[in-house]
Structure 1
Amino acid sequence: MATRRLLIALPGLLAVLAASACTSAPAATGVPARTIQHVPHTAKASSPQVRASSAPASVTLAFAGDVHFTARTARLLSDPATAFGPIATVLKLADFTALNLETSVTSRGTPQPKTYHFRTVPAAFTALRDAGVSLVTMANNHVLDYGQVGLADTVAAAKAADFPYVGIGKNAAAAWAPYVTTVKGRKIAVIGVSQVAELASSWVATDSRPGEANAIDLRQTLAAVRAAKRLAPTVIVFMHWGTEGESCPDPNQLSLARQLAAAGASIIIGAHAHMLQGSGWLGHTFVAYGMGNFLWWENSYSTATGVLELTLHPHAPLTARFIPAVVSGTGQPIVEHGATARQAVAHYESLRACAELTSRPT
């Protein structure tokens, strides 16, 4: 199975792509793609379902929300293989699974001027892999909780664990670089971006500063989507956005989603609001505005959570299935069943209205 994390070479290319409406292959620009880091898709590479195939096949993607290992969830790392509990079975069923890792991975650094600070140990990556997670986005409002030192440790820990991530890097080009993988013959690119404004001006990656991909740099964000579309027909943008405690997307989310879709995003997944937010179609782009908390340290706004399964079909639009769960007293998500599950699914589907999405592509 071919898997790689790619970076378009030369600093000026993203600006070129942002100004161009051309949809030709990267070679047409005269600037070749350059591999900056080989990150094997180790989470599920041994599964026959993930191996590339010449025949068209359906591909199942799974997405979940915010995860960290603090307070009650930190204790779960005493046995990383069981940290996520029974819901790992659900995560492992998909061909590719992604979620938001909302923490720094460091024991050093200086706490930044903000209220909450999250950090964990490298065993977090073992727990994620053992739970069947394929990739994490780390473009969020906690990855630099302990400053540049904490960020450097986080990147080093992910690389040492050989665990795929998006959304952070040693400079802007690395932070916005897509992770590209081939799953059952289908090429997929994933980008991670934050839209959280808190400390964004000092956290955003630049040409000369490590940091996160943040939509405060809208030009770079949209150019990254266009560049990813040249590398893979399916482009997933994992966003960290929204207003905490709100189950409807805010105007900033609605506006950016339209721009991401226009730039070529096939799927947009969101987190940060600590609430489930609606999912559905924005034209031909599938959007899930908020996946809520998933493995979480306290009861924050809502314990409602779940796993969103999206199945990509060879010759038809994707289909979606929401598997409802609840954040338990241990911080682990527990799948719901029976009447409770049916009520949870109905509530989740009702959120589509204020998200201004449709049940079918338009």
Structure 2
Amino acid sequence: MVQRDIFQPGAITVAAVGDVLMHVLLQEVAASQPDGYGTLLRHAAPYLQLADVTIANLEGPAARDVLPGGGERAVPAGVIYDGQVYSGYPAFNYHPSLVPALRDAGIDVLQTANNHAMDRGSLGVDRTHEAIAAAGLPQTGTRSRSAPDAPWHTVITAGGARIAFLACSYSTNGRADPNHQVLQCYQDEAELLSTIQSLRASASVDAVIVLPHWGAEYTQSPDANQRRLARAAMEAGAAAVIGTHPHVLQPIEHVTTSDGRQGFIAYSLGNFISSQWTLPQRSSVILYFDLLPGPGGLEAQMPAYLPTRVTRYVSGVVVQPAEQAVDGQQSVTHVAQVLGHEGVLSLADIARLQGRPICTRRS
């Protein structure tokens, strides 16, 4: 059995969560609360903050004053949901206050390459970059028009090491991308793989984590294209591949590359937070893994994972450790069925690993 040790001495611990998908209900809840989007994230925040670096997929723009179609309309200060500028499916746009809320909850890197990246056109991508930069966060997978030659990846320094994160998307839902602001996983596959190879060969990068947005929605098994591209990314030099988009969990595979490096592929982390309510859609994980020196440089150890659940209470909607949630055992069981029992973390495990008490009080 492959070890699932995390928070090991000398390791750099990375955490990852899936889609941050703020449907209308969640935007309405945020708009009704004094701390806005922070209300939805506060129960998960202590666990996001445990890792040295935590990443999330920002599923859609956070573009100030941008309408569907890419036009502009000023929204009064303090209004974070109006149903037009800030609205839900099919053309998402979130009030930019979501970005500092994610930062304050413990997110360190945002993936912006996904099928909703162009929901508010080129201006939406630009304004999203502005919001992320204003919050002091890095992002990966999209470019602003003001920086057309900017790298698709970002590099984070943690524990004395430099970790590159590189995101791509399978699609922009047919929305035009005239300025090539989104890196495409398949259309730009040659560029994707060459970038991984270059980062892997760079003396200033110690590990490469690839973040593809791919696969078939609501399907718990990866398709042939996911499997092929994941293996190609690993062979090109990725330490791990961590996917999003299907809105449900998909399995994790241990990988040994042809040059002997150890790593893993997590095909989909599902929804971190959304208002999709079937058990597979509301159940996800905070994925933790250690980066430790190996024969091929820093290698990603097999991950462990804390099950999470999105729950609607009278007071609002929250994402929280499933163990804290009403009916949360259903989500714990689902996670174990899809990802495997051996990697499941309880709150007691987290407390033991971190040496501090963890509150199990329900919302």
Matched with 2:169 is 194
Q: Does 1:225 align with 2:182?
A: no
Matched with 2:338 is 348
Would the aligned equivalents of 2:215 and 2:226 in 1 still touch at CA under 8 Å? yes
Percent identity over the alignment is 29
Q: Does 1:241 align with 2:231?
A: no
2:58 paired residue among 90, 95, 101: 101
SS of structure 2 residue aligned to 1:310 = strand
Q: Output the CA distance in 2 between the equivalents of 1:175 and 1:167.
A: 10
Q: Output the CA distance in 2 between the equivalents of 1:143 and 1:349.
A: 28
SS of structure 2 residue aligned to 1:334 = strand
CA, structure 1 residues 149+255, in 2 after alignment: closer, same or farther (shift >3 Å)?
same
Q: Output the CA distance in 1 between the equivalents of 2:162 and 2:274.
A: 32
Q: Output the CA distance in 1 between the equivalents of 2:16 and 2:173.
A: 25
Matched with 1:336 is 322
Matched with 1:324 is 307
Amino acid at match of 2:181: G
2:122 paired residue among 134, 141, 148: 148
Runs (4 or more) in structure 1 with deviation over 4 Å come to: 171-176, 338-342
1:34-63 Cα shifts (integer Å, max 9, x gaps): xxxxxxxxxxxxxxxxxxxxxx81111110
Q: Which moved more, 1:289-298 or 1:300-309?
A: 300-309
**Structure 1 residue 333 displacement after superposition:** 2.0
Output aligned runs, 1:78-157, within 5 Å: 78=33, 79=35, 80-106=37-63, 107-111=65-69, 116-157=90-131
Q: CA RMSD in A?
A: 2.7
CA, structure 1 residues 269+174, in 2 after alignment: closer, same or farther (shift >3 Å)?
farther
SS of structure 2 residue aligned to 1:150 = helix
CA, structure 1 residues 94+262, in 2 after alignment: closer, same or farther (shift >3 Å)?
same
1:299 paired residue among 246, 268, 277: 277
Would the aligned equivalents of 1:109 and 1:147 in 2 still touch at CA under 8 Å? no
Q: Does 1:312 align with 2:291?
A: yes
CA, structure 1 residues 161+153, in 2 after alignment: closer, same or farther (shift >3 Å)?
same
Q: Does 1:76 align with 2:30?
A: yes
**Structure 1 residue 194 displacement after superposition:** 0.7
Q: Which moved more, 1:169-178 or 1:289-298?
A: 169-178
Q: Output the CA distance in 1 between the equivalents of 2:15 and 2:252.
A: 14
TM-score (ref. length: structure 2): 0.73
CA, structure 1 residues 309+240, in 2 after alignment: closer, same or farther (shift >3 Å)?
same
Q: How many pairs does the alignment contain?
A: 291
TM-score (ref. length: structure 1): 0.73
Matched with 1:13 is none
Gaps of 5+ in 1: 1-55, 353-362
